Amino acid sequence: MQKRKLGNQGLEVSAIGLGCMGMSFSYAPFPPESVSIDLIHKAVEEGITFFDTAEVYGPYTNEELVGKALKPFRNQVQIATKFGFRIQDGKMMGVDSRPETIRKAVEGSLKRLNVECIDLLYQHRVDPNIPIEEVAGTVKDLIKEGKAKYFGLSEAGAASIRKAHVEQSVSALQSEFSLWTRQHESEIIPTIEELGIGFVPFSPLGKGFLTGTMEKNRKFESGDIRGVIPRFTQEAQMANQALIDVIANFAQMKSVTNAQIALAWVLARNPMTVPIPGTTKIHRLIENNRAINITFTPQELAELNTASKEVKIIGARYTEAQEKATGL
């Protein structure tokens, strides 16, 4: 597996990471713990060194899983986790990035991950009630104390990124980005490229849709976030099939899969882009990792950009309530 740098502060990770959220949060039904541990171990064997989790995934259970699975490989991998929500009685109660909340979250994450220091510590979502400079300052102190190595933001706007970066260098921005979620191309991505901040796209396969393997008229089980997302209604899926057709044409041309084309397109963004596709299946993990070997000529990339942009995507990426509450 190739390596890529995230930011200019020294963080270097595998060119493709593994998003671990779906192993215990948002994409029910979840596999047995032993299956997820085997998959994480296979990821390490495949050369993945970058693993993503958060305290709210569960809450807490995903960090515990990742910590348990990666304990034998601690010196070989980098673990990213996130703070930024108030959790009460096992439920996420809204954003909260007060310094005392950040510190409490970090202490909990260190214990659950069974580590002395968090490799990449993200603010999960911007808290409009707490100045971003205060958040960055708190993380700066945690880095000085040896409890975190690098600072990241998730789904932050350009102004917040700039303000935070002045107080404490931001190594990575994690935000949703794929061939059907491209709103960050106009302002956010140019901002982080200007500042030398790495980009960690989550849901680079469009929550599975861009693979082209999702059954038509699929009904999602209770606990699967896609069951309430407007973009995954039957009508929207039928309309958005046009994008799958575009991807499939390129996949056929290069004798690869749709998923590999979608990931290769994200990887081609710039050398500081590290997507974190999630999966619970080892054969999908291996398939995703092979995307690193796919390259586009400038003409091919231009053609894919043009063809995909011509498809009008139907359905919002989240419900209004989801956007307001978490953006997950």
Q: What is the DSSP letter of 71?
A: G
Say if residues 195 and 165 touch (Cβ distance below 8 Å): yes
Distance CA 301, CA 91 (A): 43
Estimate the crossing angle of helix 234-254 against helix 258-267, to 10 degrees.
Answer: 80
Say if residues 166 and 185 touch (Cβ distance below 8 Å): no
Return the residue matching tokens 């710039």.
Answer: 270
Q: What is the DSSP letter of 135?
A: H
Distance CA 110, CA 285 (A): 27
- Annotated catalytic residue within 27, 57, 60, 150: 57
Task: Output the CA torsion sign for 245, 247, 249, 255.
Answer: negative
Instruction: Record the tokens describing residue 265, joined without a space.
Output: 């397109």
Residue 150 annotated as catalytic: no
Return the residue matching tokens 């949703």.
Answer: 176
Q: Which residues are catalytic?
A: 57
